Structure 1
Amino acid sequence: MIAFELAVQDDHGIDVAARLGVDRVELCSALPLGGVTPSLGLIEAAAGAVPVHVLVRPRPGGFAYSAAEVVTTIRDVRHAIAAGAAGVVIGGLRDGRVDADLVERAVSAADGATVTFHRAFDMLADPVQAVEELIGLGVHRILTAGCPTVVADGLPGLRRLVDAAAGRLEIQAGGGVRPELIPALVATGVPAVHASAKVIVQDSGGLTLGSAAKGSETGRETTGEQIVLRIIEALRG
């Protein structure tokens, strides 16, 4: 059966994941910015409810990190595992290639826990070669859209990556996953899919960026329970 990983960024998402029985969550903060490392409090809350894989990313933006940012990343890997995470989700690039030093240090810091290389993978010029490199570095899973921006355009790439991995690591399809895409994704042979299933909810009382006005009506992202249900139903079907 294909595994389902749900990306969540708040307590509501953790609750939805636990109640609906998703296989695991990728836990992060600031998902609209691509996700950054969540707080220890949120990690502890998730680890008590569902298998959690923590995104460890020191900042938004690109994936080429300074020496100081790498040090922060490795510290956060250790903290996430100590807080009960089943694994971590990391990634880094150096001159358009996998940042092998960062990955090697993250795998070591994870101390046997699962390590996923995130969608920085989709920026690599030679993804098939990168599969071999990441296997050699001890990575367990790659999150990818098949190297385009979204999985709907990456189906042939996903098939190639599944063939290249040959079961030595898990190719997990992610990036624009919607319930109606599940049959096509299943047909690629991927053993896992990843989705955020996000919706926008209104949230009053926040500050509008660039303004000191209070009490403005703002929106925020959270997990859409009905979307999660539809994905689960499509996978089971």
Structure 2
Amino acid sequence: MGKYQFEICTNSVESCLAAQEGGADRVELCAGIPEGGTTPSYGEIAIAREVLTHTRLHVIIRPRGGDFLYSDIEIRTMLKDIEIARKLGADGVVFGCLTAEGEVDLPAMQKLMEAAQGLSVTFHRAFDVCRNPQKALEQIIKLGCNRILTSGQQPTAELGIPLLEELQKQATGRIILLAGCGVNENNIARIAAETGIYEFHFSARENIQSEMKFRNEAVSMGGTVHINEYARNVTSVRRVKETIESLHKRI
């Protein structure tokens, strides 16, 4: 294991395979990428576990898009999804809960942490919309999470460098900060150098055009939200390799 660790945000088994071939240490498997990532299906997790022979598999536990204020029934759903991820052989799970006031929801998190015992736990980018990141960092450490995925409360990790650097110093090795959102081959070395962070989360996706010959582009599967049904973004082996290499070349 080298100094740096690389996690690929994957939206399919196809992307998991590309991440593994490109040299990723682990993947975070998600559905619903346009919503920021939601829990993937049973089948997606099962097949990802089959094909990932030397790359760790983390599964996001997020029942819906939107905010991170969850009802009792949503917490029950998350608990069941953690149970399923464990049974299917996931190495870790990724979740985060907030209160209506923007604080870490400690009772909800404690329930989820108990269910996730033995798995690696990442507190996801709910952290980036919490009220007080310094306070939240201490609470998340106390909960026993292994890492926090964060962009430094900015739209991208590159813009969040000042807070990421501050939080890395505050953490003092007690928890791993995983820098994510907008990390790519052009900025990963700068983020590493200026923050001292050594784990990175990125998607390395490329746009793939559909092979459909017959197309009815007047119909959208999203109803009033128009999405190009004849293109999709998939993690690329080339971009995974280039992003990793762009950091290693600066060491």
| TM-score, scaled to structure 2 | 0.88
Q: Distance in 1 between matches of 2:208 and 2:79?
A: 34
**How big is the shift at 1:184?**
1.2
Question: C-alpha offsets along residues 30-60 of structure 1, whole Å, 9 cap, x if unaligned?
Answer: 2122111001211122223121110000011
8 Å CA contact 2:11–2:31 kept in 1: the answer is: yes
8 Å CA contact 2:23–2:241 kept in 1: the answer is: no
More strand by share: 1
Q: Structure 2, unaligned stretches of length 5 or more? A: none
Match of 1:17 among 16, 19, 23: 19
Match of 2:73 among 60, 68, 73: 68
| Matched residues, number | 233
SS at 1:58's partner residue? coil
The reply to whether residue 117 of structure 1 matches residue 123 of structure 2 is: yes
**How big is the shift at 1:185?**
1.3
Match of 1:168 in 2: 174
Q: In structure 2, what residue type is equivalent to 1:221? A: N
Match of 1:128 in 2: 134
Question: C-alpha offsets along residues 134-193 of structure 1, whole Å, 9 cap, x if unaligned?
Answer: 011111100000111211211111111111111111000001111111111111111200
Identity %: 39
Distance 1:79 1:210, change over 3 A: closer
Q: Distance in 1 between matches of 2:229 and 2:140?
A: 45
Match of 1:79 in 2: 84
Match of 2:244 in 1: 232
Larger RCO, structures 1/2 (Cα 8 Å, 6+ apart): 2
8 Å CA contact 2:22–2:238 kept in 1: the answer is: no
| TM-score, scaled to structure 1 | 0.93
**How big is the shift at 1:225?**
2.4
Q: Structure 1, unaligned stretches of length 5 or more? A: none
> Which stretches of structure 1, 4 residues or longer, exceed 6 Å deviation after superposition?
none
The reply to whether residue 3 of structure 1 matches residue 8 of structure 2 is: no
Quote the RMSD (CA, aligned, Å): 1.6
The reply to whether residue 201 of structure 1 matches residue 208 of structure 2 is: yes
Q: In structure 1, what residue type is equivalent to 2:22? A: L
